[in-house]
Structure formats: C-alpha cells, structure tokens
Amino acid sequence: MSADSGNKPPDELDLLVGSTVAGKYHIDRLIGRGGMGAVFQATNAAIGKRVALKFLGAQTSRDSDAATRFQREAEAASLAESPHIVQIFDSGQSEQGLPFLVMELLTGEDLRARLRREGRLDAETAVRIGSQILKALRQAHGAGIVHRDLKPDNVFLCRHEDEPSSVKIVDFGISKVRQQPGVDTLTHKGTVLGTAFYMSPEQAQSFPDLDGRTDLFSVGALLYEMLAGQPPHSAPTYEAVLIAICTRDAADVRALAPDVPEKLSRVVARALRRERDERYESAQDMLSDLEAALRDSRALSTKTRAASGAWLNAPKRPGAERYRTLVFAVVAALGGFAVAAYLIARGRGASLEPVTASAPTSASAGPQPLASSAGAPAPAPSAATLASADIAKARPSPATPRSREPKPVVKKAAPAGSAGVAGTLGLSTREP
C-alpha cells in the first residue's frame, strides 16, 4: 500500500497486493509508486521466477498519451537489447483493465539515492557509471531510439556478486522511436518533454529533429553532477533552468571539484556544448574519450605516487622494520645526550660564578686551598671577606631540609693556577 493511502480511498492499485494477475503473476508487494502508476514485486507462479510488474493507474490509462508512452517503453526496451537496459518480458492487462509490463526485477538503488547519500562520487566511479550508460545508448541509438529523459532517477545501480555497480537504464516512456521522418506521436507543438536539469538546449526548445546528441548532453550533465555534487545549471524555477541551459555555458566542473582530472573535465565540457554540432557525434565517440581520460588519470596517479614516495608501499624486506626502529632509537638517544650535556654545562657555568667567601673552618667543609708553588703562607682574610662570611652564616637554612641533600655550599674563588672542573671541560671561568 502506498504511504498516502490513509488520506484517500484505496484505488485499484492499492488492492493488487495478494492478487493474481493474468492467471500467473502473483503480486507479492509494492516496490514504489509515482504519479502515473506503481511497480510491484511479483512471482510467476508457473516457473517460480520473481519479476517486477509495472502498472498504469486507472485514470492515467485513460489518457491516450500516457497509454502510448507505456507501450512505447515496452517497444523501445525490446528493440535496444543491451545488458545495460532493463529487460521487458511481457505486457498485458489485469482483470480490472489496468495495463502492465512484466520486467526484470532489479536489486540495488537508483543514482539519485546514491547521490543523496554521498553527495558526489570519485572520478573513477563516475566514469564507470557513465561508461555503462554510454554502452546502453550505443545500442539504443543504433536501434533508432532516443531516450530523452536520462536523469539520476532513471539510472539504476544494480547489486550483483560479480559486478557491484552494474548499471541499467530504465523508463523509455518518452523515448523517440524512429518511425516516419519528422513524426513523433508524443510531441505536440510547444510541448517540452524531459527533466529540466538534464535537458539539452534543443530539447528545451522543442526542436522536432532531436537525435542521439540530446542524450549525450544528458550524460554530460549526469557526469557533472556525479563529479561536482550539483547539476551544471541551477535556477529556482523550471523555466529559469531551461533559459540557463539555452543561454549560458556550464562552468568548468573543476571550479567545483578541483580534484577532477583535466582530461575528464574536457570530456564533460564537450558533452555540454550548447551547439549540438560541437558535441560528440555518437555515444561510441564519447565512450572512447571517457575511457581514455580514465586511463590517463590512473597513469598520472601512479607516476605521482612513485615520485612522492613509493617506498611506503614497497614490500617489507626481512629486518627492515627492526633497522628503522634501531635508527629511531639512536637518533632519540643522541638527542637526549645533547640536551643533557647542554643542561649540565649551563648548570656548571652558573655554579662557577666568582663569589667572595670565608675559608672553611674544618676539614669536613671541603678541600683547603692549595699552597702556591713557592710555599708562601696564605694571605690573611680582608675585612670585606670577613663581612661576606658573616652574611653567609646569617642566611636562614631551609625549613625542612632533606636528610640526603648536601648542605648549602659556600662558593669560593678558584685556586690560583688552576681552572678546576671548568678547565677540564674547556669552559671559561670569567664572569660573563
């Protein structure tokens, strides 16, 4: 049942779940519903195969144009056989007179859902999706079919075990099938068919002679949105979007996504040319350039990685990790030694500042000054020296001295003829 079924009486589509259509298709569940109809999962009771049934609603089926488009979708998909176009197996009417198509059941999500979730795609993913769309168009255009409504909603990303991103184009409902020259039963004078953001200028202006190049413009718009995260033309209204498409060139995709390879941006720009004669002539031509752009991008990326440090990705040799660890340890140790030496030298240099103090009174206070080589007696202390000694004795000791810490050392002048520790380390004993 649809999400809005509580706001209106159920119609014929709401009552289909659980019923059997055409004597063999058992309707299992609703997959999705739109303005023209709904899609259900069903099972072919004869062979047990799961399929998708697409129905037109009762009111829509009374519209001659809608009924014609519905039939056109079946014809176009059958004519353009491709692994990248949804398969249609059968068509018919339900017991209530509702037209339906029997299609392959796809598992995955459409490109619109993917872009809503991720915003934008990387270049390789975008090219892979675009390439499969172009392969589908190559078959369709070869069969004389122009899709005319390529948009993210009509690009389905299938999930398979062997190919996670297989692409299927769906909904050929407004496609143009080659009939008599100049005849299109769906296009009336002044009617614009398609979705504005992805529509070519000639389609926006309802040119009667549309060809495959209008689809190539749409592929360019899809690539642009996948790479940049937004369509190439935006405006607040449908009409304003059409005017922008017809009057303004799209900005360079690299202005919004600088990481897009330059060659890929040129492919997108050519597909979006307003003059169709300046675009690619065929889906195959665009496909060739798109795949070449991807190859060049991969080659450039490989060279860049090699130049910037491929050793990071190289296979590890035996002992290489141990060698790197040893090198880092040695460097760290040297750095520690250098810092320690600097701090020691700085501390010793500060301790050797000349300070006038009295001689120690006992042997336990420290070594006595050495006598001169002539054996002369040590000079008597001066008054200034005695005053300094009194000041040193008067200084208060720490409140809670640690038992193992040395007592405050009274600084004294270096003995004559000797540089002491400073001389051994090659340091100057002069006042800086």
CB 192 within 8 A of CB 243: no
Distance CA(160)–CA(362), nearest Å, equals 96
Residue 149 among the catalytic residues = yes
Q: Which residues of 19-54 are buried (b: 16+ CB within 10 A; e: fewer)?
A: eebeeebebeebeebeebbbbbbbbeeeeeeebbbb
Report residue 21: phi and psi, to 5°: -110, 135
From 110, 149, 171, 215, active-site residue: 149
Report residue 63: phi and psi, to 5°: -85, 120
Distance CA(80)–CA(87), nearest Å, equals 9
End-to-end CA, the chain: 94
Distance CA(26)–CA(108), nearest Å, equals 22
Distance CA(112)–CA(226), nearest Å, equals 10
Which residues, at least 6 apart from 271, have a Cβ–Cβ distance to it below 8 Å?
216, 217, 219, 220, 223, 279, 280, 286
Distance CA(141)–CA(177), nearest Å, equals 9
Which residues, at least 6 apart from 173, have a Cβ–Cβ distance to it below 8 Å?
69, 70, 72, 73, 149
Which residues are tagged catalytic? 149
